[in-house]
Amino acid sequence: MPTQATTDPDRELQSSPNDSGVVDLRSDTVTRPTLAMRRAMAEAEVGDDVYLEDPTVNALERRAAEIFGKEAALFVPSGCMGNLIAIKVWTHHGDEVICEERSHVNLYELASMSAIAGCMPRVARGEDGILTWPQIEAVIRPTIYYDSQTALVCLENSHNMAGGTLYTADQITDICERAHAAGLKVHLDGARVFNAAVALGVEVAQIASNLDSVMFCLSKGLGAPVGSMVVGSHAFIEKARIYRKMFGGGMRQVGVLAAAGRIALEESPKRLNIDHQNAQRLAEGIAQIPSLRIDPRSVKTNIVIFDCKETGMDAVQLCDALKPHGVWALDTAPYSVRFVTHCDVGAPCIERALEVLRAVVTKSQGTAASTARQ
Ligand code: TLP
């Protein structure tokens, strides 16, 4: 029995209309602020945040720290900057950072850990993107003066390019304990850590309990227009604030953005299960389309990655073929296509995407068959 995809009446009432009729499944970064967010932004009390005088930012930072069970938090412009700041705080030039091969810090942050923080990524391949301690331990450098040194382990939960896969809170705690015993810090790229927490049925504080720092995005599944946060100890955030300024991320009357972030943080986690149900429905529908390959059981959160090799189209061609029909997707590898569900796509959009996908794939197979007969 396929999972019933659900709409989100509250969100549909609040969100501004999408006149284009496009079902944009490229990413959860594309969400638009709700009316409540827009109102809060307009009415936000602001001050100069570089002088620590923006009351809305201060309130957001206090609340984020509280939710994650950490001492302090810092509002940053983007997830990339948040990760880079954490890497910079925990390392020296010439250090190595252990991360998963397909992790965002390794593949999609323009090599900033090398270009700016002066570190080498030391990658390990985890099944479904999830690293085990033996895989991490195997790439820790011995303490020898003529070797570069391992300083940091960077985990990603949920793991984006592995299809929204998950570390449990216990797996993370275990890695942290062992890493700490080996003298390493552990940072979490938690761009989608609220999706992870909802799927695991735990609080984000449980996931964060032994981590030295966490970056999470307000601007993905949580639906805020801009902004991410880093959380950690007072000492970590004090240094993080310095690097944020050095990297050009010191913002002034940024309470106008933090106001949307506060709503995202309080309200949005409650509805992420809807995105997960919609992702499950998508995966089940895709699995029924001949020549597309996905195991719906592998879909744990809001990211659905499927293989299109047997269609005769590569991922770019398939995305291009979907686009004129108003369904937008992203190619993530030569034959891998990604759909990400989020608060601006309800159940009818999911059914529409499946209808279009089936029609486009069926048509391409018909064209391939008639070309073969000629
Ligand atoms: N991910 C984006 C693209 O960059 C791929 C997306 O559409 O998924 N960590 C993770 C795990 C991410 O997925 C992303 C963005 C970031 C960090 C960076 O966040 P931003 O875009 O705010 O710098």
Atom of ligand 1 at shortest range from CA of 159: 11
Per-residue pLDDT averaged across 132-150, rounded?
A: 97
Residue 87 has pLDDT above 60, yes or no: yes
Q: Which of 75, 81, 104, 218 to probe ligand 1 with, by most ligand atoms within 8 A of CB?
A: 104
| Rounded Cα distance, 256 and 241, in Å | 19
Residue 89 CA, distance from chain mean position: 21
pLDDT at 21: 87
Tell the CATH superfamily of the 9-33+270-364 domain.
Answer: Aspartate Aminotransferase, domain 1 (3.90.1150.10)
What is the per-residue pLDDT across 163-212, written as a single tens digit (0 to 9) for each?
999 999 999 999 999 999 999 999 999 999 999 999 999 999 999 999 99
Q: Which CATH class is domain 35-269?
A: alpha beta
What per-residue confidence (pLDDT) applies to 20?
73
Phi, psi (degrees; rounded to nearest 5) at 230:
-115, 145
CB-ligand 1 contact for 29 (6 Å cutoff): yes
| Beta carbons within 8 Å of 240's beta carbon, 6+ residues apart | 74, 85, 86, 89, 213, 230, 232
Q: What is the rounded CA–CA span in Å between residue 266 and residue 350?
A: 26
State in Å: Cα 365 to ligand 1 middle. Answer: 34
* Cβ(215) – ligand 1 distance below 6 Å: no
Distance 181 CA to ligand 1 centre (A): 30
Domain boundaries, the chain: 9-33+270-364, 35-269
- Is the minimum distance from the CB of 296 to ligand 1 under 6 angstroms? no
Span from the CA of 152 to the centroid of ligand 1 (angstroms) = 20
pLDDT in tens, 252-311: 999 999 999 999 999 999 999 999 999 999 999 999 999 999 999 999 999 999 999 999
Tally Cβ neighbours within 10 Å of residue 66: 13
**Distance between CA 165 and CA 259 in Å, rounded?**
30
Establish whether residue 104 lines the binding site of ligand 1, counting it when its CB lies within 6 angstroms of any ligand atom: yes
State pTM to two decimals.
Answer: 0.94
Q: What percent of the chain has pLDDT over 90?
A: 91
Percent of the chain with pLDDT over 70: 93
The end-to-end CA distance of the chain, in Å, is 41
